[in-house]
Amino acid sequence: MTGRKLTGYWLILPAALWLGLFFAIPFYSLLANSLYDPEGSVLTGYHVSYRFANFADAIRDSGPELWRSLWYAGLATAICLVLGYVLAYAIAFKAGKWRNLMLVLVIAPFFTSFLVRTLSWKLILADDGFIVDTLRFVHILGEDGRLLATPVAVIAGLVYNFLPFMVLPLYASLEKIDGRLVEAAGDLYASPLRGFLKVTLPLSMPGVVAGTLLTFIPAAGDYINAQLLGSPNQRMVGNVIQDLYTDTGDFAAAGALSVTLMVIIVAAVLVYIRRAGTEELL
């Protein structure tokens, strides 16, 4: 083997080792955790007992949170898709000379602390805040209705936090579309709506797929929004896992729940990619 051929191995080695040691192997440890004897504790130590019942326990104990996570994340992703598509479309085709500025505005929140921004939502949605007052005034909310500690606040927070992850891939795929294609569709008797549905939308599918994945996956595992903007009634699976580690030290249950979440997400993603892939061909 020549030196040139070996170069590739040397270049990839450090990254491969790092990801292998600290990303891939930990999954194995997690899997081992999920099969721990639940009697173990931080003090007495843990041992693998191949107790598959941990999974059944996890699903029984945390079923509502698990279900709620997927439901919130799915809804937040759908809202992100609509809002993100409008914004990405506006930047790509309508912003003109303001295009770069608008892109910067999309990226900028990325660089401002996630937690600090989420806390500021707490302020915006506060019980005596402007939004709640207005909604009460127009009777969308009742006299003492509130937004904080409701699913609305948690989902709004999720939408807000992961919107840039939706906009950027959407913009990247929309930007590549040749504007003349849409004009050609118009020339060939397609109404603007049909032109969009038959030309723009199918061509932006890679962005739609990437954006929904990048939004859904982190949203499903998130617990910050549920914690800061919600109440115990909005707890998501992330909250449960976090508490199992830090409060109870129940590594077996935490592991089992993490693995369950991962399996559900991987399955959902695979089904989604397959369906999105065939739609793209239509």
Query: DSSP labels for 195-222?
Result: HIIIIIHHHTHHHHHHHHHHHHHHHHH-
In whole angstroms, the minimum distance from the beta carbon of 12 to other proteins comes to 4
Q: Choose the binding region for other proteins from 56-64, 82-90, 178-186, 274-282 (rule: CB under 8 A).
A: 82-90
Quick check: 124 binds other proteins (CB under 8 A)? yes
CA distance linking residue 233 with residue 150, whole number of Å: 8
Which one, 116 or 281, has the nearer CB to other proteins? 116
Q: Cβ(230)–Cβ(149) under 8 Å? A: yes
Quick check: 33 binds other proteins (CB under 8 A)? yes
Which one, 76 or 213, has the nearer CB to other proteins? 213
CA 100 from centre of chain = 25
Helix, strand or coil, per DSSP, at residue 135: helix
Quick check: 267 binds other proteins (CB under 8 A)? no
In the block, tokens 């806390």 appear at 119
Binder of other proteins out of 121, 151, 234, 253 (CB under 8 A): 121
CA distance linking residue 250 with residue 234, whole number of Å: 22
Binder of other proteins out of 2, 3, 60, 112 (CB under 8 A): 112
Site residues for other proteins, 243-262, by CB under 8 A, read 245-246, 251, 254-255, 258, 261-262
In whole angstroms, the minimum distance from the beta carbon of 60 to other proteins comes to 20
* Beta-bridge partners for 45: 41
In whole angstroms, the minimum distance from the beta carbon of 189 to other proteins comes to 18
